[in-house]
Every structure is written in C-alpha cells, then in structure tokens.
C-alpha cells in the first residue's frame, strides 16, 4: 500500500477541535502524523493548498437495494456513488428483499461489502418483514453486526410493538431510527398537502402525520430510555418536538436530507417525479425551519436517504411512481449551498454533522470500537479521509454520476463545493486532483 503525504490543507477535526493548516501522512492504512511542514517523504504527495482535509464522510441512511432490487443499485454500485460523493462509510437500510431482519442477511451485507469501495454497515429491521407486528431478534441482529435498528420505508405504527422494540434496542446498545409516518393519515398520499397538491389534484400528505409519530415516540423514549433517532425530518413542527425532547434531556437525535433543505413542493409542479419523496418536500417555512434547526443544534446529523430507482419506474405517472431520489454524489455540495453559503453554520460544524455525529449514532466511533473508531482524524487512527474543495464550481451531469440510477432533481444544478478525493483505509478510491509522485 503506497504511503500518502497530503500537504498544506486546512485540517478540520471536530473531535479534537483542530482547524489549522497542516500536513497529514498516511502509511499502511493509518494516519501516522498530522503536523505543520512535516519533514516526511511518501510514495505519493498531494498538494492540498486551498482544500479542506476532513475525516471521511459518513452517511447513516442510504438504500443500496441489495438483496432483491439489484436493477436499481447494488452494494458495489452504491459504494461507487458514495466515494464519488466523498463518503468513506455508509449505513444501509433494511427495506431490501428479503428484509434485513435476520443475522444471516446482516452477514450477507458484510460479505458483499468486502468488494465495496467504501465501508458499508447494515441497519437491521426492528420487526419481521418490516411489517410492524412481530419483533425481530434484535439482540442477535446486533451480535451479527447491525449498527442500528429501523423499519425505514415504514413506521412501526403500533405503540405496543414500538415500546418492545425500543426496550430491546436499548438492551442491545443500539439506536432506533424511526421513519415517522402515521399510515392512516397518508393513505394514497403522493405529495405534501397544500396549495400545490390541490392544484395538481394529488392526494396530500399532512405535516401532522410526521409530528404525531415523533410526539408518541418521545413519550415511549421517556419510558424506555432507548436512543431514538428521527429520520429525514421534513417539517417545522417536527423540529420543535425534537427540540423540546432534547431540552428535557431525552436521548433524541434527528437528521435532515439535502432535498428537504433545498427544495419545496413547488418542485412537484409539472408532475415532476424526480421531486416525489417520502417524506414529501414541503413549504418554504419548513425549509427555513429545518435550516434553523441545524444552525441551532437541534438537528445534529445529516443523511442523504439515497434512494435509487430506474428511469422506467420514475417515468410512471406521479401518483404511481416510487418515492425517493439518489443523493450521495450531490450531498456535500447541497449542504454547502443550504447551510454554509447563507451563513447558518461554518465548515467545522458541517463536518461534525457529517462525520463524528453519525459515527456516534451508529456506534462506529472510538467510544464504541476503540482504536478502530471512525469519524475523526487522529494520529494512529484509521486513514479514512475526504479532501474537499470549498469553492469548486461544478454542474451536475448525468454522465458524471457513478451509481447505477439517475433519479435526481439536481441535474444541471451548478454548485460551489465538491469533494475532490476520497481515501478509505489509506487507499485512494476517488480523485479529482493531480497526485505527485
Ligand atoms: Zn424513510
């Protein structure tokens, strides 16, 4: 494995609080030294002047479609999209076919992940088949390597089942990640319930369908003390509920996705299925509340909800097309557009939300896995590193996308930040810059 010396970048490590110009030397998959003007030689030298040197980005919420829907994405193709987007680690959701609800399938994901370009960790289902009825063997799933529990794609609607799942998830030392959607309030719903759904004649999805589940779950968390994580927040009221729970000291965290920070339900005009998401795009007041939620420290994790679908599926009429968009390759640029450019947060904070915070959520940090912990840059630590050009202008084009599917509303958008190198375990997996030898 060639050694790598990265010179003169802005090293940002939220765990140690480091934010300074420095060099970083990588040998044998580990970070050997971080310091100014290192008198070191390496097989490859990278001039990182003007670039940010960040811990490898971690996405705790992606759909890799394997097993069962390999025509949309596989663990391998999803990992290509991940490293193209600067991610060194992704956590994949259990709504596969078969469902990720048994230790055998957890191990299958790890087996497939050995060929992947980045690290892939499975989040396993809380109930068998994600049906919300019979609890899965959560203890065994955790022992097989599940890094979180979720029925994502669906909510656990029964409060009784949810309480049992939270109790078992807490005992296993994991966090539960909830897809918050009260199903009786969203039957046939295709988009946010508002003026535009009325105009388009599409059944609407009210905000309260999300809020009511978070309200209920916060009460269950008060009883079970399970770490509880709200997936893909979409509305202003949800931010308030999460804030109140955190103020009470409950172990509640929340994530937001790039599209909810950048788009509103107006993107659905013209029946554009690339704007059909679950939860749906809402209104400007929600988008602003979500950005404020990040700025004020209520939302502490960012996640793409990368959801590949084929062009054929997305060409169906709006009401029949599947929910979701891909997100890994445009995520960092989108977060910079939504959060940094308007001045809500700075780069060190953004990197914290993309590295150590998701690592802690999924037990991938040093506290949980000792010296192999992810999410930080430290001497002796694993060399998962992302180089970011904070001012690189680029336009999203279909031919540029490395994953298998193309369903994104951000085609032809011009952004002003981009990951330019992804290093996983000391190996360069993606590069958009010159490497000197
Ligand atoms: Zn979901």
Q: What is the CATH number of the domain that holds 277?
A: 3.20.20.140
Mean pLDDT in residue range 50-54? 98
Q: Report the separation in Å between the CA atom of 324 and the middle of ligand 1, taken as the mean of its atom positions.
A: 9
CATH code, 19: 2.30.40.10
Give distance in angstroms: CA of 400 to centre of ligand 1.
Answer: 26
* Domain assignment of residue 437, yes or no: no
Average of pLDDT values for 283-310? 97
402 in a structural domain: yes
How sure is the predictor about 241, in pLDDT bands with cuts at 50, 70 and 90?
Answer: very high
Question: What's the pLDDT at 315?
Answer: 92
pLDDT for 434 beyond 90: no
**Token digits of residue 307:** 């959801």
Mean per-residue pLDDT, 185-198? 97
CA of 157 to the centre of ligand 1 (A): 14
In percent, the amount of the chain with pLDDT more than 70 equals 99
Residue 305 annotated in active site: yes
Name which of 388, 430, 431 is nearest 12 in CA terms. Answer: 388
Average pLDDT score over the chain: 97
Residue 437 pLDDT grade (very low, low, confident, very high; cuts 50, 70, 90): low
Look at residues 79, 143, 54, 73 and name the one whose alpha carbon lies nearest to residue 107.
Answer: 143
Output the CA 59–ligand 1 centroid distance in Å: 14
Give the confidence band of 204 by pLDDT, cuts at 50, 70, 90: very high
Residue 15 Cα, ligand 1 centroid: separation in angstroms? 29
Query: Looking at the domain assignment, is residue 21 inside a domain?
Result: yes
Local confidence band at 400 (pLDDT 50, 70, 90 cut-offs): confident
pLDDT of residue 144: 98
Query: How far, in Å, from the CA of 181 to the mean position of ligand 1?
Result: 9
Give the E-state strand segments of 142-279 in sequence order: 175-178, 191-192, 204-205, 227-230, 252-256
Three-state secondary-structure class, residue 159: helix
User: Domain end: 337, 370, 403, which one?
Assistant: 370
Ligand 1 centroid to Cα of residue 99, in Å, is 15
How far from chain centre, in Å, is Cα 209?
A: 22
**322 C-alpha to center of ligand 1: Å?**
13
Residue 435's pLDDT is what? 67
Together in a domain, 62 and 46: no
Q: Please provide residue 228's backbone torsions phi and psi, each rounded to the nearest 5 degrees.
A: -130, 130
371, 51 contact by CB (below 8 A): no
Note whether 170 and 124 are same-domain residues: yes
Q: Which domain holds residue 9?
A: 4-53+379-431
314-358 confidence digits (pLDDT tens)? 999 999 999 999 999 999 999 999 999 999 999 999 999 999 999
Q: Which among 13, 217, 265, 305 is annotated as catalytic?
A: 305
In 3D space, the residue among 37, 8, 40, 6 whose CA is nearest the CA of residue 21 turns out to be 8
Q: Is the pLDDT of residue 125 over 80?
A: yes
Q: How far apart are CA 353 and CA 266, in angstroms?
A: 28
Of 370, 396, 422, which marks where a domain is finished? 370
Indicate if 36 and 147 belong to the same structural domain.
no
Domain count across the chain: 2
> Of 370, 392, 410, at which residue does a domain stop?
370
**Mean pLDDT of the region 93-115:** 97
For residue 436, being part of any structural domain is answered with no
What is the model's pLDDT at position 436? 63
Measure the CA–CA gap between 276 and 255, rounded to whole angstroms: 19
- pLDDT, one tens digit per residue, over 127-138 is 999 999 999 999
């Amino acid at each position: 494995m060639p050694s790598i010396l990265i010179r003169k970048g802005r090293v940002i490590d939220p765990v140690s609080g480091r934010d300074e110009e420095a060099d970083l030397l990588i040998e044998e998959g580990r970070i050997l030294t971080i310091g100014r003007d290192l008198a070191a030689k390496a097989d490859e030298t990278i001039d990182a002047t003007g670039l940010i040197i960040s811990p490898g980005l971690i996405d705790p919420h992606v759909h890799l479609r394997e097993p069962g829907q390999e025509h949309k994405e596989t663990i391998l193709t999803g990992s290509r999209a991940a490293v193209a987007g600067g991610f060194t680690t992704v956590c994949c959701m259990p709504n596969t076919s078969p469902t990720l609800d048994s230790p055998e399938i957890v191990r299958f994901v790890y087996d497939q992940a050995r060929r992947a370009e980045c690290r892939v960790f499975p989040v396993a289902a809380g109930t068998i088949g994600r049906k919300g009825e019979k609890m899965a063997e959560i203890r065994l799933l955790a022992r097989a390597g599940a890094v979180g529990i979720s029925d994502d794609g669906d909510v656990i609607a029964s409060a009784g089942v949810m309480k049992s799942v939270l109790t078992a998830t807490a005992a296993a030392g994991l966090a539960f990640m909830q897809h918050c959607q009260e199903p009786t309030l969203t039957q046939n719903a295709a988009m946010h319930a508002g003026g535009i759904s009325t105009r388009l004649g599409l059944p609407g999805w009210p905000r309260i369908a999300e809020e009511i589940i978070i309200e209920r779950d916060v009460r269950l968390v008060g009883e079970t003390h399970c770490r509880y994580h709200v997936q893909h927040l979409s509305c202003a009221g949800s931010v308030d509920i999460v804030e109140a729970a955190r103020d009470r000291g409950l172990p509640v965290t929340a994530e937001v996705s790039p599209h909810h920070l950048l788009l509103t339900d107006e993107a659905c005009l013209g029946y554009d299925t690339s704007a059909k998401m679950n939860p749906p795009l809402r209104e400007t007041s929600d988008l602003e509340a979500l950005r404020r939620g990040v700025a004020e420290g209520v939302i502490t994790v960012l996640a793409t909800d990368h959801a590949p679908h084929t062009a054929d599926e997305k060409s169906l009429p709006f009401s029949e097309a599947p929910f979701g968009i891909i997100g890994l390759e445009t995520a960092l640029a989108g977060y910079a557009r939504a959060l940094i450019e308007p001045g809500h947060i700075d780069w060190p904070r953004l990197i914290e939300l993309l590295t150590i915070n998701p690592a802690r959520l999924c037990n991938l940090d040093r506290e949980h896995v000792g010296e192999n912990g992810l999410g930080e840059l430290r001497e002796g630590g694993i060399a998962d590193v992302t180089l970011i050009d904070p001012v690189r202008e680029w336009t999203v084009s279909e031919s540029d996308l490395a994953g298998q599917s193309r369903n994104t509303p951000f085609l032809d958008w011009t952004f002003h930040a981009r990951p330019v190198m992804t290093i996983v375990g000391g190996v360069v997996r993606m590069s958009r810059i010159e490497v000197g030898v």
